[in-house]
Amino acid sequence: MQRRLLPLFLSQSFRSAAVSLISFFSAVYIYKLTSSFLAVFAFFLIFYVFKLIGTSLAENLSLKTGLKRQVVLGQLLNVLALAAFLGSANIYAFLWLASFFWGLSAGFFWFGWHGLLAKDGYLGEYGRALGSASAIETIFLVSTPLLGGILVSQFGYQALFVGALGFLLLGFSTPVFLSEHKTHKDVTFKEILKIFITHKKMFLTYFSHGATGTLYSVAFILYLFLILKKEMDLGLFFCLSMVLVALANLLIGRWVDARGKKRLVIFGSCLASIVWFGRFLIKSITFLFVLDIFYRIALGMLGIPLGVLSYEKATDGGSTGRAILFREGAITFGSIFVCVLLAIFNLIGLELRFSFLAGIIFSLFPLLIVKKQGIYGE
């Protein structure tokens, strides 16, 4: 692993540990606070809209202030989001403020993070870098779902938000060691929308990545909670399913660098689709647990090659801002679409599991970029 990337990976891992405490339980928290699925979907719709805004603002600011500052600003906004979550127990309106700050935080942090990795990583070794980042992150995350379950069960959701804040504060030490880089070409969102049209297959691939991610983090977690009934059991479920994933992601990253992306995208896409079909059919917790392990491995098979492709386009195309904004914009549009879809399903009275049918379809979208010679865009 490239040593100069270690601070970047640690910044992601500390933040992910903090955010995972929220993300694994936020949908459940909002549902218990409001007794409404629609409120959950509205919360995440606001989150993704402001993530899109944050990404665009980060692209503009990185020209003047650099990418490292976007990472720091993203972490500061996350602190405000956690403060709003803490206040939401007493003042309901703070819940929507949390969504606003959390969305902006994600936009700023991930634009800066992906931009720095594209700038500091080595062409031909991006797969190894992403595999290492994912493995380190998974090591940090292995115990956080269980920790979250214990905190909520024993002390309530306020303790969960305080615990997340603690991890986030630890992450503030890492940006000091990051290299500073600026983007050099201003990219408007209007320009990105035009590229969406001219690169439809890549747009739909990233779109599906965001769509399935939101189905998992919102619909599936709520569905699982309704079966398990307890946050402690929910945390234990996700904790155990992560154990095998760190090694798998390291191997996937090395495979991408050595043998290319085509086979991994095909296997990952098909496996993810099968998992969503299995989730739709069977409610058995043991079966869902096994499927979750396969799904996380499938996500690595898809996410790492797609990430490598983004960084290669940033390097080859000479515009980091354009490549990252294209990626993050398409992913976020997919997430927004799913939030609206979930709201519609709820209004017409469909059970949560029927949204998994959309996961079956979206998971197959990455096959659009597979061609005989390899992957479109390589």
Model's pTM, two decimal places? Answer: 0.87
Pairwise CA distance, residues 74 & 102, whole Å: 9
Does the pLDDT of residue 29 top 70, yes or no?
yes
Nearest to 56 by CA among 315, 329, 332: 329
Residue 39: Cβ within 10 Å count: 15
Task: Please give the Cα distance from 57 to 131 (Å, whole number).
Answer: 28
39-68: average pLDDT: 89
Task: Please determine, for residue 208, whether its predicted confidence score (pLDDT) is greater than 80.
Answer: yes
**190: CB partners within 8 A, 6+ apart:** none
Confidence (pLDDT) at 233: 79
What pLDDT is attached to residue 1? 45
- Res 338: pLDDT: 96
Q: Which residue has the higher pLDDT, 21 or 158?
A: 158
Q: Does domain 3-171+187-375 match CATH 1.20.1250.20?
A: yes
Cα Dmax for the chain:
58
> Tens digit of pLDDT for each residue in 312-333?
766 665 566 777 888 889 999 9
Task: State the residue for tokens 């990337």.
Answer: 5
In this prediction, residue 3 carries a pLDDT of 59
Tell me which amino acid residue 105 is. Answer: S
Cα separation values, 60 from 52, 184, 186, Å? 13, 10, 7
**C-alpha–C-alpha distance, residues 305 and 204, integer Å:** 15
Question: Which residue, among 218, 168, 229, has the nearest Cα to 21 in the 3D structure?
Answer: 168
> To 10 degrees, what angle do helices 67-88 and 37-65 make?
150
pLDDT at 69: 84
